[in-house]
Structure formats: C-alpha cells, structure tokens
Amino acid sequence: MNIKFKLSIILLLIIVLISIFAPVFSNYNPLEIQKGKQFLPPSMIHYFGTDEFGRDVFSRTLYAGRISLLAGLVAVIVSALVGVPLGLISGYYGKIIDTCIMRTMDSLLAFPALLLALSIVAVLGPSSLNAMIAVSIVSIPNFARISRASILTQKEKDYVDAAVSIGASDKRVIFFTILPNCIGPILVQITIAVAFAILVEAALSFLGLGTQPPDASWGAMLFSGRGYLRVAWWYAFFPGLFITLVILTLNIISEEIRDKLDPTTVT
Amino acid sequence: MILAGPDALPEQIEVITKELGLDKPIISQYFIWISNILMGDFGKSIINGYPVFKLISLKFVATLELAISGLIISLLIAFPLGILSAIKRNGIIEKFTTIFTALGQAIPTFWLGILLVLVFSIKLRWLPPSGRIEFTENPELAFKLIILPAFTLGVYTASVLTRFLKTSVLEILTLDYVLTARAKGLSEWIVIIRHVIKNALIPFVTVLGLQFGAFLGGSVVTESIFDWPGLGRLMLQSIHTRDYPVLQGTILVVVFGFVIVNLIIDLLYSFLDPKIRY
C-alpha cells in the first residue's frame, strides 16, 4: 500500500467524518442568518468566512457535505442494485435477453452523462431527490456493462458447471456462486461511480437544478457563491475545494484497487 | 398551467392544451413530434414563439467555436505532456504530468472556471470574465473572451488524454517492433514519431471521441459560468422556463452530434490502422 493511497483514505475519512458529525465541529447553525455579519473574510471566528446572509460558510460546507456525500452514495447504491443484476442476467442468459437489456443500456450511453442527467431533472423538476434519481439512472449502464463482462468470463468456468450440476437454481448460481467472483471490478466501479455521482450532483446543483435553498450542498453553495466572487472569494472557494478533494481521493483509491486487481496495468 | 398563469380560467387552459396538442395520447404526441422532426420542423418555442431550429442554428456556432477551442487547448497540452512524460521517465516533466492528470480529473469544471475568473479577471484583470463577440467584429477581444472558457472546458479532457497517451506510449515502447526499429539504427526521434506515436494514435482517437461527450456536458456548465450564448445555455434556460420544444430540439441536436462524431472516429480507424477494414 503506497503513501498516496494511505493519505487519500485518511483525508477522505476526515471529510466524511466531519460532515457526518457536522454539529460537533461547527459552532454555528448553517441556516442561522446573522445581521451585520455579511461577507466576513475567513478568520479564527469564522474559519471559511460568512456568506451574503451572514451565515457561517464553514458550518454550511460541513452540512453541505452531508447532502453531497449522501447524494453520491445513494445514487451509487441504487444504480448498482439495478445495474449489477441487469448485467449479470444479461450475461448469464445471453441471446434475446442480452440484446434487449444491453441495447437499452447502449441507448442510455448514447447521451453524454451530464446531458442525460439534465434531461431527467428537466422532466422531474429541480430538487435534491430528483438530482439523485437522475444520477442513479445515468450510472446504471456502467454497472450493467461491467458486471456483464465479468459474468461472461466467469460462467464458462468449472465451478459454475459444478454448481449447475448439483441442481442449484439460476438465481443461486448467478447471485451466490458467480457474483462473489465478479466483485473486484464491481468494487472499482463503485469507487469511480461515487466520485462521478458526487460530481454530477454538484454540477446539477451548480446549475440550479439540484439542492434548492436554503439547504446547502457543495454544488448549490458554488451556485450562490459565484455571484459574489468580487466581494467574497471564500464563498465559492471552499465548497469547490471540498468537492475536488473528495473526487481526488476517490480517484486515487479506485486506481489503487484497480492496480491491485490487475497488476499488468502500466501507469 | 404555467403558460396560462395561476389565475387562468378552465377555458383558457383548454385552449392552450389543444393548441399544444397535449390533449392527444402521449404516444401520438411523440409520433407527431418525430414526424415533424423528420420533415425539418422542430416546432416553436412556447415562451417566445421563435422557431426552435432557427434558435438552435443561431446558438450552434457559439458552442462549436467553444468546443473546437477547448479541443485545441486539450490537444496542445496532452500531446507534449503525454509523449514527453513517457519518454523521459522519472524526470520533472513526469512528476508535473502526474500532478496535472490527477488534479485535472478531480477539479470540477465549474470550480475551475470560477477559480480562473477569480485569478485572471478579478485579481489580475488580464482577461474579461464573461461574454462573447464575433471574431469578425473585434478579433482581439473575441480571442481574449474565449481563452478562459476554452481552458476551463479543455483541462479535464487534456488530463484524460495526457494520461492515456502516456500509458499507450509506455506500452508501445516495450514492443518488439520498436526494438527492431532501434536495432536498425534509426534515430530515437524517428522511432518515436514514426513507430510509437503513430501506433499510439489509434486508442488515443477513440478516447478523444468519447471525450466529445464530456465536452458537450462540460459546455453546459462552462457556458453558464462565462455567459457564453451557446446550446448549453439555451438548454439550461429552456429547463428553467419549461420550454420543452426548445429543450427537446437542443438535446436531439447535441446527441445526434455526439453519435456522428463517434461514427467519424470509427471510420478514422481504418485510415490510422490499415489492418482494420470495414
């Protein structure tokens, strides 16, 4: 395990923990409007300064982390729960089932990811929940493709024949015999997908289509903060820094896991 | 309801519903829309009545201009960094490339755009923060206006391409034909240019095609930061105003463009690699 990987895990854990335990680490209510305290620069009292309503940006960034991280996690869990079984069924049965499922996935992939998410939110309406739904739908095809590719190589192996020959049902063979052996690539995809989901949710919120005020997500804070760049650079700076750190650490972690699983990769 | 307003009478709502064809079943609405599209009729904006096709063609040039500039920036960064970092391993260029690719893929486009505006427009006052004018009107200002958006759009793709190019070149350098070329006594640069780069280009072009999607998605965000009057902003405005004909038309054009670019990339393979024939 290299130092970069260890540092990434520590940094990610710190961000996750201070977001989960936001009330412990922040001295201010993130929604509390303080008159006369608008646009105070970062100081020992307000670590990340204050916003246009005098709200503490540090508290808001921590609380926003809860929404952003939760959005990423929920979106990935939902898309993995839908995408992985679809890919496994598609690869195991093949033929017409494979064609139907994979062509549907291909048609989803024909859209650039952010545009598809935008279109879904356009239909459902802007909100935090709808942004999560959009990100989940956008992430499904990748899970389906990866699990299909894994099951295609696994299903020809002897242990699968053995399971089938002792009379195991298809459901048992797919989900209990083969799935545990496909977990590596799916795990890598999960870390990539969490980073991607956080990024897309932030992009949607930044465009005003995700989390709505007064709630804060990192993207939504950037959306409000960019209007005040001339007077308060800190307002848009810190939420963006948190997004970047989370994506960076997740990317490093996923690369490390991938390298461990496939030592032939040259980087 | 939104078009008619909250105080609309049921009769008014009925008239609007009929006018927009919303009284028909969804499936027939869809076929009417498709058949109109096939005849070149993208419908009209329900907000200002402007023909959607005309609206799209007006904005298309701006997005194309931004996408091409972003592409140029990303190629200008990716080519030298990708190749040099693979050839001269463990040097300062490789260290810089590693940091650049890691950060380039992690920094969200919208934050990068904001940082660039903060530094180059607000603090240093070197470049204007937003807007677009035609190159024919004032080439210098037009050039200054496009630098920040193009860079914002290009950095992510540049980092993906750099990394990919570096990996391909590293893999190719270990292959036998490179050894043969060197054994023939060819100079290192000829080996690199003629044997390594040419073969590294095939997977590179595939990634470039796939990155076109990131460009299209990124353009929505970039155009929104820099008030760039392109398709991305048109799409965003139509989402906020629920102008569905404009939104449908724009998404159709953008996705069609994405598919066409990928088709062109597929066809380019046979040109780059004579072993591939369709």
Are residues B148 and B35 located together in one domain of the fold?
A: no
The shortest CB-CB distance from A122 to any of B106, B114, B247 is to B247
With the C-alpha atoms ordered A126, A127, A131, A134, is the resulting torsion angle positive or negative? negative
Instruction: Tell the CATH topology of A54-261.
Output: MetI-like fold (1.10.3720)
Domain total for chain B?
A: 2
Mean pLDDT for the stretch of residues B194-206: 81
CB contact under 8 A, B110 and A240: yes
Residue B46 within any structural domain of the chain: no
Residue B255 and residue A112: Cβ atoms within 8 Å? yes
The H or E element that residue A142 is part of is helix A128-154
Band (B159; pLDDT cuts 50, 70, 90): very high
Closest to A91 measured CA to CA, from A177, A38, A149, A40: A149
Q: Which of A118, A203, A252 sits opposite B110 (nearest CB)?
A: A203
Residues B116 and B160 reside in one and the same domain: yes
Partners of A209 on chain B (C-beta within 8 Å) are 239
Q: Is the pLDDT of residue B216 over 80?
A: no
Measured in Å, how far apart are chain A's first and last C-alpha atoms?
A: 16
Range of B164's domain? 52-277
Smallest Cβ–Cβ distance between B171 and the set A119, A240, A266 belongs to A266
Q: Which of B186, B191, B175 has its CA nearest to residue B83?
A: B191
> Contact B217/A251, CB-based, under 8 Å?
no
Q: Which residue among A113, A202, A229 places its CB closest to the CB of B114?
A: A229
DSSP A151-167: HHHHTTSHHHHHHHHTT
Omega before residue A112 within 30° of 0, cis? no
Task: Tell me the chain B residues in contact with residue A253 when contact means C-beta distances shorter than 8 Å.
Answer: none
Q: Is the pLDDT of residue B64 over 70?
A: yes
State the Cα–Cα distance between residues A36 and B85, nearest whole angstrom.
Answer: 53
Shared domain for B216 and B260, answered yes or no, is yes
- pLDDT at residue B143 tops 50: yes
Q: Using a CB-CB distance cutoff of 8 angstroms, which residues of chain B are in contact with residue A208?
A: 240
> What is the percentage of chain B residues whose pLDDT exceeds 70?
94
Task: Read off the pLDDT band of B3 (50, 70, 90).
Answer: low
Residue B264 falls inside a structural domain? yes
Is residue B70 a contact partner of residue B154, using CB atoms and an 8 Å limit?
yes
Q: What are phi and psi of A50, to 5 degrees?
A: -125, 165
Closest by Cβ to B221, choosing from A206, A244, A248: A206
Residue B259 in domain: yes
B47 lies in some domain: no
The verdict on a CB contact (< 8 Å) between A222 and B114 is yes
pLDDT of residue B6: 67
CB-based contact B220 A118, cutoff 8 Å: yes
Query: B127 and B15 share a domain?
Result: no
Contact between B40 and B53 (Cβ < 8 Å): yes
DSSP state of A50: B
**What CATH code is carried by the domain that includes residue B92?**
1.10.3720.10
Nearest chain B Cα to A195, which residue?
Answer: B106
Position A265 scores a pLDDT of 52
Please check whether residue B173 lies inside any domain of the structure: yes
pLDDT of amino acid A87: 93
Chain A, chain B: beta-carbon pairs less than 8 Å apart: 109
One digit per residue, pLDDT tens: chain A, 267 residues?
Answer: 688 899 999 999 999 999 999 888 887 887 778 787 788 888 888 888 888 888 888 999 999 999 899 999 999 999 999 999 999 999 999 889 999 999 999 888 888 888 889 889 988 988 889 999 999 999 999 999 999 988 988 888 889 889 989 988 888 988 998 899 888 888 888 988 999 999 999 999 999 888 888 788 899 899 888 888 888 889 889 999 999 999 999 999 988 888 887 655 544
| Residues B31 and B64 grouped into a single domain | no
CB contact under 8 A, B220 and A114: yes
Tally of CA atoms within 13 A in the half-sphere of A247 that contains its CB: 26
d(CA A52, CA B143): 34
Q: Could you tell me if the ipTM is greater than 0.90?
A: no
Type of residue found at A137: I
Which is nearest to B131 in space by CA: B144, B119, B118?
A: B144
Greater pLDDT, B31 or A194: A194
Q: CA-nearest residue of chain A to B170? A: A266
Q: Which of B174, B234, B239 to mutate to test the interface with A (most CBs of A within 10 A)?
A: B239
B94 and B193 housed in the same domain: yes
Output the furthest CA–CA distance in chain B (Å, rounded).
87
Tell me: do B27 and B97 sit in the same domain.
no
